[in-house]
Structure 1
């Protein structure tokens, strides 16, 4: 059986049309960024280069709370009595005619005396005595001095149990959460976490949140380990929360992995992201067309040179040049970013040539 030249031409044309409509895992860069320079474009496009990075550094961070942290400060190595603390006082008196003790007794126990809001406690024969702001030793000496004027033979013993203003709460991803009394005024965040059994190993990039007087502060446990001056001392009533890093980014297209990825560390660069997603498909992806899509709030739009032109922004990375690679290493991924590996136009051409080869092979086989 013979195939005419016209039949072969029609068959080849069908193959071309079929190749043009083959399904793809992602668009080609030119398809996605088409219209970026139009006056009515609803997104802005920025190539990531060395010259662009300083401008980007002035733009706001999106997708995560901007939390400050409190640097460490020195504190006394002793406990300080605060309003709300509980003290137990024992008064010893060897006098047979003691004003305080009953006949035959040598001690009077005044247990669970809570320090009032004004910093005082009530003592028999003395009245209200301020002990707030003193160490337990200094408070004992003050009570002893005031009591000696009335009962010269009396001796005072004082023990302290921390109240809510001399204790801190540890919540979340530790082995032993709970309320912990402060042993002294140098009790720090890492000391508290250590006493709570340490951070759970199941947490990815554990984050530390410190709630103090209604204000929330935050950093990561890794940063506290690497920068000891940030291990701030605690204040009575503080609440320390240990939780997993909630930030994430997405990967789609001709990427090694198409998924949602948690941040494994404080800073994730574009090159880190490429490693996390398993790189890109060597047969499909366009290394000159790695796109990072991000949305900014309307409040971040450019005033002068401190923000993007549009809320929707497409950053383009070219991983075939040294400037593109170095710039990608200094480009920080933000929570919610989409990393899109576009399809290479070459892959479609290769598909067409493959179909051509198959077609002519089939023609030769039939002709023979």
Structure 2
């Protein structure tokens, strides 16, 4: 009976170690050497680079893998007065104290001419005066111009002028704020932050909010964080501008022996590899390999270089060693790109632990069988 038990245990142990040799043990991530060694093949289609201080200097010369960066319009000073533009609606009130007037009835002291829309040629039409240019003028200058024209037919007149801003003197605030809508510009010193404040501020819960300014068919962009930090980005708005506030659409992925396996939004404008490790919950302490963190990235074909100023393969694996000081400092200066995959490989000891667990289970099963046989 003892001989049978020994044979059974040895047979089961051989099966377990055979499984280990075939590397088909159950696990949740690749071991670093499985990926890195594949790059040594003659026909490999990806490159492997260790992220070190020396390599970061080389990486600085590589093309930026990020999407095309949107430009921005620097801030400049503007007048604190409104300017009449095409589409604005004017209301002219003519005061006349004379008993006989071309514009007013007997006993009438004021005449109101409402809903005078500024025509595409920049003029408004007044009875007995005709087309009078007002576009590009402030209200004060336009009132004086209209008074001089009306005074020729009504010498004792006084003119009052008010305006309702039209499309050319309004801006649209679309999404991402408390109260989106179309807002009239009170003067030519109306800035982006003025508009966002009027719209109730940026909505809470947006991840790294981004601002998009659409002007004359062009799109400009910056982040709220940069806008707050740099007053030079608080650009002046123009009539017809459209402003969109939305969360950052960029993301990266995490897989393997990480604290989280998920898709993660960019929570700030620049995310380092060390930031990413923190966002994903670090390296899983029981099975992760801190010396084998990989970042997988794909470059477009037009970014490939044969002279070393860029990657020589479109698919690149960057390896990070978080067990050394150089590796940690380098990880803090390595910036993630849109769509990067952060893969935390398993520690080789995990396979050994799995083997020991299986062996222990086999011996336990053998002991139970022996007990039943006795």
- Taking structure 1 as the reference length, the TM-score comes to 0.93
1:59 has 2:28 as partner? no
Cα distance in 1 for partners of 2:180, 2:150 equals: 42
Identify which of 152, 157, 162 aligns with 2:160. Answer: 157
Q: Give, in whole Å, the separation in 2 of the partners of 1:34 and 1:95.
A: 100
Contact 2:171 2:242 in 1 (8 A): yes
- Cα offset, 1:3, TM superposition: 3.1
- Deviations 1:141-170, CA, capped at 9 Å, x for gaps: 111123223321011110011111110000
Matched, 1:315 2:318: yes
Structure 2, unmatched stretches of 5+, are none
- CA deviations 1:292-315 (Å, max 9, x no partner) are 111111122126444211111111
Q: Deviations over 1:96-145 (max 9, x none)?
A: 11122122222221111111222222223332222111110111011112
Instruction: Compute the displacement of 1:275 (Å).
Output: 0.9
Residue of structure 1 in register with 2:49 after alignment: 46
Question: Is the 1:3–1:363 Cα contact (8 Å) retained in structure 2?
Answer: no
Are residues 145 and 55 of structure 1, via their aligned partners in 2, closer, same or farther at CA, if it must alter by over 3 Å? farther
Unaligned runs of 5+ in 1: none
Q: For the Cα contact (< 8 Å) 1:64–1:247, is it kept in 2?
A: no
Tell whether the 8 Å contact from 1:63 to 1:336 is kept in structure 2 after alignment. Answer: no
1:338-349 equivalences in 2 (<5 Å): 338-349=341-352
The alpha carbon displacement at 1:8 in A equals 4.7
**8 A contact 1:168–1:179 mirrored in 2:** yes
Report the counterpart of residue 134 of structure 2 in structure 1: 131
For the 8 Å contact 1:67–1:219, the answer to whether it is kept is yes
Distance 1:326 1:240 in 2: 39
> Offset of 1:89 from its aligned partner?
0.8
Report the Cα distance in structure 1 between the residues aligned to 2:318 and 2:191, rounded to whole angstroms.
42
Residue 195 of structure 2 corresponds to: 192
- CA distance in 1: counterparts of 2:28 and 2:76, whole angstroms: 54
1:329, distance to aligned residue in structure 2 (A) = 0.8
CA contact (8 A) 2:8 2:366 kept: no
Equivalent residue, structure 2, for 1:213? 216
Partner of 1:10: 11
Supply the distance in 2 between the matched residues of 1:58 and 1:324 (Cα, whole angstroms): 20
Shift of the alpha carbon at 1:95? 1.0
Q: How many residues align?
A: 368
- Give the Cα–Cα distance (whole angstroms) in 1 for the partners of residues 58 and 121 of structure 2: 54
Q: Deviations over 1:12-60 (max 9, x none)?
A: 2222123443111111111112332444321121211112223323434
Please tell me whether the aligned partners of residues 272 and 333 of structure 2 are also in contact (alpha carbons under 8 angstroms). Answer: yes
Q: Does 1:233 align with 2:236?
A: yes
2:107 maps to 104
Deviates more, 1:57-66 or 1:33-42: 57-66
What is the CA–CA distance in structure 2 between the aligned matches of 1:130 and 1:197, rounded to whole Å? 37
CA distance in structure 2 between the aligned counterparts of 1:56 and 1:235, rounded to whole angstroms: 40
Shift of 1:175: 1.2
